[in-house]
Amino acid sequence: MPKSVAIVTGASQGIGEATAIRLARDFSALVLVARNQANLEQTAAAVRAGGAQALVIGADLSEPAAAQSVVDQTLAAFGRIDALLNIAGAVPQIDLFEMTDAQWEGGLALKLHGARRLTIAAWPALKAAKGAVVLMSGNSALFPKASYAAVGTINAAIVALAKAFSDRGIADGVQVNSVLPGPVMTGRRQSYLEHWAPLHNMTAAEATANFPKEAGIARYGEPEEIAEAMAFLVSPGARWMTGSTLRMDGGEVKSI
């Protein structure tokens, strides 16, 4: 059995993929969860090349039964859970007055409720291991706008949820924090820019080049940079850090 096991959701692409690959240096085994199994296999190959075992679980965490299934498979394979990194979840960036109930529910189902259910299901094993949990939010939690109201609202809810879990974790020995990334260049970010550009009479290349300037930052973040922050939060060096919200956004948020 491996000495340390981390579950990473959303591990098929972007920040989730980068985090899983980074954690292969620190954990004996990684459990990789996402809906796209083919992409997960590519992540698994990189994790194994980094020196860790990898278990691939193709699952849709918006489905209520998925969380317990992931935990059961993890414990059957490795016998323990030392860290859980909830990264899965894309929320539609649609105007407040245009977003439908179904779109709101879809955003909540995976990013908020998927993370909530998986954290609860993994909690007994995390408690036994005195483990760590990270929930992925986003810096829009600090400045929700009408043009992408659901993103800000759901990210703010995730920060509150992490705070609630951390309160229980003080007694149970489980550390829980949240991370608020800013504009990170992922495939999802590029798709957003391609959609946003024609609405503002720009090409995708122009929008990509102009966005950092409009956001007041020097450049986009890289998934690997967020992965380093995630790795720190589940490392021994962060053991006394719980209930915190770590913002990493290149200075986009100007307020204190």
Any idea where the domains of the chain sit in the sequence?
A: 5-184+222-248, 185-220
Q: What is the pLDDT of residue 47?
A: 98
**182 vs 248: CA distance, rounded Å:** 6
Interval 160-184 mean pLDDT:
97
**137 vs 177: CA distance, rounded Å:** 10
**163 vs 160: CA distance, rounded Å:** 5
Query: Would you place residue 187 in the very low, low, confident or very high pLDDT band (cuts 50, 70, 90)?
Result: confident
**4 vs 52: CA distance, rounded Å:** 10
Interval 66-70 mean pLDDT:
98
**66 vs 245: CA distance, rounded Å:** 27
**pLDDT at residue 141 is higher than 90:** yes
Q: Is the dihedral of CA 190, 191, 192, 195 positive or negative?
A: positive
Query: Would you place residue 140 in the very low, low, confident or very high pLDDT band (cuts 50, 70, 90)?
Result: very high
Is residue 30 within 8 Å of residue 24, measured between CB atoms?
yes
**pLDDT at residue 15 is higher than 80:** yes
Higher pLDDT, 192 or 213: 213
5-184+222-248 classified as CATH 3.40.50.720 = yes
Work out the burial of residue 125: count CB atoms within 10 Å of its CB; fewer than 13 is exposed, 13-18 middle, 19 or more buried: buried
Task: Count Cα atoms within 13 angstroms, Cβ side, for 169.
Answer: 28
Average pLDDT, the chain: 95
Interval 39-67 mean pLDDT:
98
Q: Is the dihedral of CA 26, 32, 34, 37 positive or negative?
A: positive
Q: Longest Cα pair distance anywhere in the chain, in angstroms?
A: 56
Nearest to 182 by CA among 223, 240, 127: 223
Task: Count Cα atoms within 13 angstroms, Cβ side, for 155.
Answer: 26
Put simply, whether the predicted model's pTM sits higher than 0.85 gets the answer: yes
pLDDT digits 0-9 by tens, 103-115: 999 999 999 999 9
Q: DSSP 3-state assignment of 34?
A: strand
pLDDT digits 0-9 by tens, 245-255: 999 999 999 99
Query: Would you place residue 196 in the very low, low, confident or very high pLDDT band (cuts 50, 70, 90)?
Result: confident
**pLDDT at residue 205 is higher than 80:** yes
**pLDDT at residue 147 is higher than 90:** no
